[in-house]
Structure 1
Amino acid sequence: MTKVDSSLQSQNPISSAQNSVDNVHQAVNHALSHPTEQTTEEAQNAISKAENAVAQASLQSDSPAVQQAMESLDEDKARLADLE
């Protein structure tokens, strides 16, 4: 039986945006639980990347998945802003 490596799956703009938003969620959680300048900066960098990915995805599709990614990103941005 062969095991499929998830990194071999094709990335489209929507899945890329979802992955970026997932990374933001993890980075913001880490910054909130371990508030240092470095973790906050890492969360900000993740947000910037996710904003770009979501913008690219929204150019391709107005699907519920893209809308949900935007909402999740906005929620995590607000959570991080509360820390700062």
Structure 2
Amino acid sequence: MTKVDSSLQSQNPISSAQNSVDNVHQAVNHALSHPTAQTTEEAQNAISKAKNSVDQAFDQSDSPAVQQAIESLEEDKARLTSLE
């Protein structure tokens, strides 16, 4: 019996970076609406993971999608910094 891939979208470095940045956006929104040490830490962890993912994607391609992910990540980092 073969294993069927249930993912509708293959995970390449660019889509992985975009997903990570989306997670950052959600985490930062949550931290801003519910400012606790835990939500802030979760947002910082999401930023760290997304930075790694974006760096890997940038190593593969300097496409507009990667540039947009970098810009979105920087915006969310700034939003989180305004909370601290």
Deviation at 1:6, TM superposition (A): 6.5
Q: Which runs of 5+ in 2 are unaligned?
A: none
Percentage of pairs with the same residue = 88
Q: Which runs of 5+ in 1 are unaligned?
A: none
- Counterpart CA distance in 2 for 1:18 and 1:8 is 15
Q: Note closer, same or farther for the CA distance 1:61–1:69 as it changes in structure 2 (3 Å cut).
A: same
- Counterpart CA distance in 2 for 1:46 and 1:6 is 25
Pairwise mapping of residues 10-49 of structure 1 onto structure 2 (< 5 A)? 10-49=10-49
- The count of corresponding residues between Structure 1 and Structure 2 is 80
Superposition misfits of 4+ residues, deviation over 6 angstroms: none
Deviation at 1:7, TM superposition (A): 2.9
TM-score w.r.t. length of structure 1? 0.91
Aligned Cα root-mean-square deviation (Å): 1.4
- Counterpart CA distance in 1 for 2:68 and 2:12 is 16
